[in-house]
Amino acid sequence: MVEHSHGAKGEITFVIWPHTALNWVGMRRLLCVLTAAIAAVAVYFALQGAWLVLPFAGLEALVVCGGIYLNARWAVTREVVRLDGRDLVVSRGRRDLVEVARLSRHWTRVALVRDGSGWYPSRLFLESHGRRLEIASVLTEVEREGLAADLRSQLGPAPVPHPTRPAPVPQGLPTAAYE
C-alpha cells in the first residue's frame, strides 16, 4: 500500500506499507483464540488419560505465537521515500526510521526491471551515480508500476547513460591543402 502526501514546505512523501489482513489488535485476538483452542484440545486429551499431549500442545502454542508475532512485526515495517528540495531520501524501519540512502533528486533515475520469463515480480530501483537501491518490494505489480510512474513524474528527466561514445572527429587540415 502506498500513501502519497505533500508537505508544507513543498516536500513530497511516499510511505510504502506491506499488505496485511489484520492489525495488531486482530492478531492478538487470533492468537488468543488459537491458544484457547489448542489448550482445550490438550486438556480434553489429558483428562482422557493421554497426559503426554500437554507438552506437545505447549510447544505447538509456542510455535503459533512465534509465527504470529513475526508476522505482526513484519506488518508494521515501512519504507519512506521523501523528495525535499534537491534530495531524495529513502528511510526504512518500524517505529524509528533509519535513513538508508540520500540521492541527488535531479540525477536519480527510476528503473522498473521486469523478469524476461514473467515468472518473477518486477523490481523497482532508484539509480544515481553508480548506486542502485531497490524499493517497494512489498507492493503488488500494479502498485509498483504506479509508484514508478509517480516517482518519474516528480523526479523529472534524468540523464540517459550512453552505451558507447561517439567516434572522434578527425582534427587538422584537410588533405587538399597539401597538394
And the C-alpha cell for 70?
Answer: 513475526
> 171 or 111, which is more confident?
111
Q: What is the pLDDT of residues 39-93, one digit of tens each?
A: 999 999 999 999 999 999 999 999 999 998 888 888 888 999 998 888 899 999 9
In the chain, DSSP assigns E strands to 2-6, 12-16, 78-84, 87-93, 97-104, 109-113, 123-128, 131-135
Domain ranges in the chain are 2-18+77-155, 24-75
Q: The whole model's pTM is what?
A: 0.71
Q: What is the pLDDT of residue 158?
A: 45
Q: What is the pLDDT of residues 131-145, one digit of tens each?
A: 999 999 999 999 999
Residue 172 has φ and ψ, to the nearest 5°, of 125, -170
Residue 104 has φ and ψ, to the nearest 5°, of -70, 125
Q: Domain 2-18+77-155: which topology?
A: PH-domain like (2.30.29)
Gap between the Cα atoms of 89 and 102, Å rounded = 5
